[in-house]
Amino acid sequence: MEKAKLFRSPLQEREAELVAGVSRKDVGMQSKLYDYCRRYFWTNYRGLFFISENDAMEIFQNSFITLWENIERGKIMACNGIVVGKNGEPLNGSILTYFMGIAKNKYKEWARSRPTLYNPETEQQMTDEEWGRLDAADVLYDPSENAMMDIVSDVISRMSKRCNEVLSKYYYEEKSLDAILQELPNFESKNALKTMKYKCMENLRKSAQEIYHRYLNS
């Protein structure tokens, strides 16, 4: 841990203070950690989870409870001015990255808890649009301080005009395929739009992941 101590940043020290405060049941620190996560979540959730604000609040609350429980149980803790896991190794990223990973899992649980969206035997009752947005969480989820989100935005901006329009309207403006079809009448049918959306998403996924891997290794 001495090596990690030498390279700790002000952000790591601040987050370690928050985690240590929660661990010792400091109400003030608990409130600060809550606000810290809340601000980040509400700034980023629309790019990650395509749901209403009420549903987003439910996911946030459940995610924070899990984060708090993980601190209480010693799954993550403060050590030498940084936040580490149970194995004593530093987290991969900040506490916000860790928190949003919890939120992504809670989002998937949320989707699967709704009978109209999820059939536990076939997994086919969720609409194509909902499953598409659930898959998007894996592509758009940012495991490294907004790097992936920046890459995704850049890739979309450089895609063909049609892909740019479809993905922007579907994932960022949260419009349904029917609404997009009305705005982009050059598609012959909803199925044609759905096929185009799928192809564009696959290209986005491949390009963004390739760039992100180069970013990690640079």
Q: Where in the sequence of the chain do the CATH 1.10.10 domains occur?
A: 119-218
Do 22 and 71 meet the contact criterion of CB atoms below 8 Å apart? Answer: yes
How far is 8 from 14, CA to CA, in rounded Å?
10
The string of DSSP codes covering the chain is: -HHHHHT--HHHHHHHHHHHHHHTT-HHHHHHHHHHHHHHHHHHHHHH--S-HHHHHHHHHHHHHHHHHHHHTTSEEEETTEEEETTSPBPSS-HHHHHHHHHHHHHHHHHHT-TTT--TTTS--S-HHHHHHHHHHHHH--SSTTHHHHHHHHHHHTS-HHHHHHHIIIIIS---HHHHHHH-TTSSSHHHHHHHHHHHHHHHHHHHHHHHHHHHH-
CATH architecture of 1-113: Orthogonal Bundle (1.10)
- Give pLDDT tens digits along the chain (218 positions): 444 444 567 888 899 999 999 999 999 999 999 999 998 888 766 555 556 778 888 889 999 999 999 999 999 999 988 999 888 888 877 898 889 889 888 887 877 776 554 434 344 444 555 545 545 545 444 444 455 566 777 788 888 988 988 888 877 676 888 888 999 888 888 889 888 888 888 888 778 767 766 655 55
Burial of 88 (0-12, 13-18, 19+ CB in 10 A): exposed
What does pTM read for this prediction?
A: 0.56
For the domain covering 119-218, report its CATH number: 1.10.10
How far is 209 from 109, CA to CA, in rounded Å?
25
112, amino acid identity: R
Q: Where in the sequence of the chain do the CATH 1.10.1740 domains occur?
A: 1-113
